[in-house]
Amino acid sequence: MVQEWVDVHNNEFELLTWPPNSPDLNPIKHLWDVLDKQVQSMETPPHNLQDLKDLLLTSWCQIPQHTFRNRIHASTGKGRELADMMERRKVDILCVQETRWKGSKAHSIGAGFKLFYYGVDSKRDGVGVVLKEEFVRNVLEVKRVSDRVMSLKLEIEWVMLNVVSGYAPQVGCELEEKERFWSELDEVMESIPTGERVVIGADFNGFNVGEGNTGDEEVMGKFGVKKRNLEGQMVVDFAKRMDMAVVNTYFQKREEHRVTYKSGGRRTQVDYILCRRGKLKEISDCKVVVGESVARQHRMVVCRMTLMVCKKKRSKIEIEKKTKWWKLKKEECCEEFRQKLRQALGGQVVLLDYWETTAEVIRETGRKVLGVSSGRRKEDKETWWWNEEVQDSIQRKKLAKKKWDMDRTEENRQEYKELQRRLKREVSKAKQKAYDELYI
């Protein structure tokens, strides 16, 4: 369709020869995705090429104008730069601040990355979280608290991971605005169960925790930048209050890889990653990436985190210790048991008072002569009465089951069912025979 239109209007403009992977063609890929979803949602699928062509044209005309704007905006400019940078640096999750994207949405920014964001003003503030495509389907919950705080909850390999993106007010802002930010951050943290992982990526806007950790060893390391300011103390107090750790400060790096903000002659550390103090061992590295131009003054802070999945230990099943009655199949054990039992019964076959006493004497004699099991077995597999007929029937039933799994015909099914019934009969006979021999 596009080529037909170009052929008709080729005298109106000069057609450039673009390579198939030109970045200028990237926005259209996301519009194709929207079109594909609309076509697939139709109740009646097209029956031929003409039906498909008509359906595509109709669906294209029904796509709202704001969808075109959003998709193209997301696939160009900063959105596309972020996606390219994350792909190149192998970053899976990225917290972004000062996005200046108005709205409460989520859409693709290209290269297999999706942006979840929230903003109320296209000229200031705004926060977001960018996820690699493979993690998008793991999102369980999105909390957009304000244009300064938002969080995502993901389930990765049975581990709940909460990613919080924060954008603190600047140092010169009103105290009320700063208190509102910390109140919102506290609210998010308090809503997360203590057993779940939390990672906070935030631009604290001049809140510098400083170098050294005297008196604050439990929440930060020694490798900050310059001296702590009053606002930086708020970050430390928050970490203590929520049992968090300031990850940047635990890894010894050159100053170039610790400075997160650089403007003119000013070099400082204002962007931090925080995690639960008890899970700090899951982070193996953290540093500032130098050389990226996505943000003019801020530098991206990256950390390598490996989620440790603790498999639940299976509780041991308490198994009653059992008498090894199967030893009576041996002639010597059987003869010894009879002698000891006669002695215990005083030469009588049955005690005169009642059967319960006789049964207890038999059980006690069995425990002394034959011994008991350890009680450590996880499953109760009573197979001491098995004989050759039972084992042969089990083997034939297994082969029939395998045959039916490979070829689901009615004949194979009937054969498998018949062998199941035959096995039950063999088991019943073997048990009866074993118990008859036991009490002779």
Domain ranges (residues) in the chain: 2-58, 88-305, 333-374, 386-440
What is the 3-state composition of the chain as percent helix, strand, coil, each rounded to the nearest 5?
Answer: 45, 20, 35
Q: Can you count the helices (H) and strands (E) in the chain?
A: 12, 14
Label residue 349 by pLDDT band (50, 70, 90). Answer: low
User: What pLDDT, on the 0 to 100 scale, is given for residue 376?
Assistant: 60
CB-count burial class (<10 Å; 0-12, 13-18, 19+) for 299:
buried
Phi, psi of 92 (to 5 degrees): -90, -35
CB 213 within 8 A of CB 221: yes
CA distance 91 to 81: 13
**What gap in Å lies between CA 262 and CA 291, rounded to an integer?**
12
Q: Does residue 366 or residue 127 have the better pLDDT? A: 127
CATH class, domain 88-305, is alpha beta
Tell me: the pLDDT tens digits for 117-171?
999 887 778 999 999 988 998 999 999 999 999 999 999 888 999 999 999 998 7
Please state which of the ranges 183-197, 213-227, 313-327 shows the lowest mean pLDDT.
313-327
Residue 187 or 38, more confident: 187
44-90 residue pLDDT tens: 778 888 888 888 888 888 877 666 655 555 445 678 888 888 999 99
pLDDT at 19: 42
260: left (phi over 0), alpha (psi -120 to 50) or beta: alpha
| Best CA proximity match to 148, nearest among 164, 171, 129, 127 | 127
DSSP category for residue 20 = T
Q: Are 288 and 299 in contact (CB under 8 A)?
A: yes
Determine the pLDDT at residue 23: 39
How does residue 319 score in pLDDT terms, banded at 50, 70 and 90? low
What does the mean pLDDT of the chain come to? 81
What are the phi and psi torsion angles at 249 (to 5°)? Answer: -80, -5
